[in-house]
Structures are given as structure tokens and as C-alpha cells.
Structure 1
Amino acid sequence: MNLFRMAVIALVMILMTGCRSIAEEHAEGKEAVPDNAPVSDVESVPYAAFALEVNYGRGKHNSFTAVYDKQEREEASIKDHLNGADREGEEALNEMKMVLSELSIAKSDSKQDVISNVLEAFNLDERYDLFHLRVKWPDGTSRIYHGK
């Protein structure tokens, strides 16, 4: 899991410093994003809210929670008690936007497909004791996914 975290940090650094020049973006007809734009300004998240909790046994130290909400303003937090890493504010928002912008959950997806895709996106073990996910899309549709 630490390898995933290092990859995320590396990707954040690449995105924050910019991988392409403004000239390339203009040549492709895209609006240029400033080199110093934070990831939270660049990534697009297809969800209005996303709240994940995964437990691996009893006790708070065996849990992973990740929350993203853009109801009034964008906010995120990650409580990774498995690795002793908690993130809030811009750091959590950047990481959540990176993961969620790549995660595709359709309203019609099966529960097992959603659970598998979410665990893979967050690099979590599939041998969980409890999985709880609440997703809300911008159109107001919500789904809750439980797994044991």
C-alpha cells in the first residue's frame, strides 16, 4: 500500500508542475492550465459525494475511510488507520480527486463490480470484514453498497 501512496504523491507532483507546455495545449485546442494549478483545480470528479468505510477486523486501527463532498464546496478527508496516515484539506482533496476521477461507477453496476473497482482504486485488500460505500451523483441519485 505504501507503493500506491508514493505513486499518488509522484503523480500529484507531476500534475502540479505540469507535464505539458502551454504551447502544446494551445496547439491541441485545449484551454491551458497554469503550471502551478493544484490538482484540485484540474481533476474532474463525476460524483457529488463519496463516502467509503472499509474495516479489516475489530478496532479503529483496522479501518480505512475516505470522504469526498462537493455539495457547497469541495472537501475531502482520508483516515487510513491501516497505515497510520490521515490526510485532510488540500492534500486529501488532491488524492481523492485523482482516485475518483479515474474511478467509474455507473448507477447500473452490480454491487460486486462496484466493490471490486473501489477496492482496486484505493489499493485495498479484498479480504475485508465490512465494506460500506455511499455514492451520490450530481443529478441527486444516491446508491449505498454494503459488503461483508
Structure 2
Amino acid sequence: MNNAKLLLTMTLMLGILYACNNDDKDEVVTENQQNNQTDEVTEKIENNTALQADETMDPDQTVADKTHNGGLSSKFIKFDLDVEYKNDVSFDVEYTNNQNKVTAEIEDEINNVQLKGDEANKRIVKAFELLNFEENTNDEEVRSQVLEAFNLDENFKEFELEIKFETGNVKKYNFNNN
């Protein structure tokens, strides 16, 4: 009987020791998971702060969001520019600021550059900062400011620009140098 009690006690103690040892591993894993989650949250916060400091834009963040955050703003809902030069070389800008999404694209055949998303948006917004015309500004002034803002040559064949302003008004500008 004593041997049976001893064997039962030993088995029970081994089970308890095993269970205790297993719990320690779970705590370490849980602690590491919590640390990893904390690190991920911290990294996201730091990245968001860096984005705001650089005045770059998260693909899901709208220009309106940036305005409320003290960042960049745009008076254009849509900006579609197409400037054609000799030898079928063109410079195209497409910018749209819908309520939930900003899309931006530049196709620069002059310098053989294509930009989309955040890179294109940064370049477009820098050009927008140089534009101070409004809906009632004369067409020649608009053309001149746009060419200067995007660093384009005046010797184009065709200049087409369609802008939808914040007011919802759409204005088209067309010039030909044949």
C-alpha cells in the first residue's frame, strides 16, 4: 500500500511540475506577443508622425484629412493636364480628390518618368503650391502659372487642362501653338 501511495504521489507531483513548467512558457510567449503588438503599434504611430512631418500622404488619407491635420490643402477636386510637344512627346497629370481617396499620376515623356500614388501626389502638390489662380482668372494667366509650376516649356503644340474646383465648377483651358 505504501508503494502504491508513493507511486501515486510521485505521478501527481510530476504532473504538477510539468503543468507549472508549461505555464511559464505560455507566459513568456504571451509576453513576447504583447511586446510585438506594442512594437507594431509604436511603429505605426511613429510612421504616421513621420508622414505628417514629411507632408507625405498615406494612400488612404485624403487631402481634406491633411488639411484638418494642419497639412496640405488643394483647391482642386480634379486636375487633368495634357501638354503635347513635337515628336509626340507629352506631359500628363491626373489628380483626383474624391471624398475618401486621392489619386495622382504623372506621365512625363519629356524626362521619361512615370509616377503614381504618393510620389506623384508629392510632386503635384508642390506644383499646386505655386498656383494662385482662381476660377475667374484669365486663361492666359492660368496657362502661364501651370507651365511654370510643372517646369514645362512654352513651345508646346497643344495644351489641354480641365479643372474641377472645390466649388464644383469645372473649367477647361485649351491652347494650340501650331
What TM-score do the two structures reach when normalised by structure 1?
Answer: 0.71
Counterpart residue number, 2:79: 50
State the Cα distance separating 1:58 from its structure 2 match.
Answer: 4.1
Q: Which residue of 1 aligns with 2:56?
A: 39
Check the 8 A contact 1:39/1:97 in 2, yes or no. Answer: no
- 1:145 aligned onto 2:173: yes
Report the Cα distance in structure 2 between the residues aligned to 1:65 and 1:94, rounded to whole angstroms.
Answer: 15
Distance 2:51 2:76 in 1: 25
**Structure 2: gaps spanning 5 or more residues:** 1-47, 58-65
AA in 1 matched with 2:83: V
Residue 48 of structure 1 aligns to a residue whose secondary structure is: strand
Specify which structure has the higher proportion of helix: 2
Deviation beyond 6 Å, 4+ runs, structure 1: none
Aligned partners of 2:175, 2:91: CA distance in 1, in Å?
14
* Deviation by residue 1:63-95 (Cα, 9 ceiling, x = unmatched): 000111012410100000011000001111111
* Unaligned ranges ≥5, structure 1: 1-32
Partner of 1:9: none
User: Cα distance, 1:138 vs. partner?
Assistant: 1.3
Q: Secondary structure at the match of 1:125?
A: coil
Identify the match of residue 162 of structure 2 among 127, 131, 134. Answer: 134
1:64 to 76, 91, 95: 91
- Aligned AA (2:56): V
Checking the alignment, whether the CA contact within 8 Å between 2:82 and 2:160 is kept in structure 1 is yes
Larger RCO, structure (CA 8 Å, separation 6 or more): 1
How many percent of aligned residue pairs carry the same amino acid?
28
Q: Counterpart of 1:129 in structure 2: which amino acid?
A: K
Q: CA RMSD in A?
A: 1.6
**What CA distance in whole angstroms lies between the structure 1 residues aligned with 2:84 and 2:132?**
22
Q: 1:55 to 1:97 in 2, by over 3 A?
A: same
TM-score, reference length from structure 2: 0.60
Matches for 1:85-100 after TM superposition, within 5 Å: 85-100=113-128
Q: How many residue pairs end up in the alignment?
A: 114
